[in-house]
Amino acid sequence: MRLLILNGPNLNMLGKREPEIYGSESLDDLMESLQTAFPDVQFEHFQSNDEGVLVDKIQSVVYKPVDGIILNLAAFTHYSYALYDTLNMVYCPKIEVHISHIYRREEFRHKSVTAKACNGIIAGLGTYGYHLGVHWMINHYSK
């Protein structure tokens, strides 16, 4: 199974960025822990701080399909109709992950414009949410 792990702005700073909210694990640590937990899954990881670059990456899946996308579009989640439209072009299963509990934070974080393009969302469970997303994908394809 090939899964794309897609991360948006500021997630490259994981571990250094507000650790009381996002934890002390770096993005590299997270990718390593996913590969260790799921040795049979082929992960591709992509992170960008740029909305257009994320649009291009999601579009690339149309030509080079993957079995699923686990995405954390970070702040773009809350207002990017461009990313919402792009996600709707891609028909593989998509799970939206948020490390923090977005519904317990500032009001602007309570809305996700991209969630409607996804099969489900996981929020507030720390970086373990990415692991849960992979579990869901495996279960989805085992049916």
Can you give the binding site for ligand DQA, defined by CB under 6 A?
Answer: 10, 72, 74-75, 77, 98-100, 102, 109
d(CA 16, CA 22): 9
The minimum distance between CB 108 and ligand DQA, in angstroms, equals 8
Using the minimum distance from each CB to ligand DQA, give the nearer residue, 1 or 33: 33
Lookup: tokens for 58: 């999601």
The minimum distance between CB 18 and ligand DQA, in angstroms, equals 9
Using the minimum distance from each CB to ligand DQA, give the nearer residue, 77 or 86: 77
Using the minimum distance from each CB to ligand DQA, give the nearer residue, 40 or 106: 106
Check residue 23 and give left, alpha or beta (phi > 0: left; psi -120 to 50: alpha): left
The minimum distance between CB 56 and ligand DQA, in angstroms, equals 20
Residues belonging to the active site? 22, 98
Q: Which of 49, 47, 116, 130 is nearest to 88 (CA)?
A: 116
Using the minimum distance from each CB to ligand DQA, give the nearer residue, 61 or 74: 74
The minimum distance between CB 137 and ligand DQA, in angstroms, equals 18
CA dihedral over 76, 64, 121, 123, signed as positive or negative: negative
d(CA 85, CA 68): 17
d(CA 48, CA 27): 12
**In the complex, residue closest to ligand DQA by CB:** 74
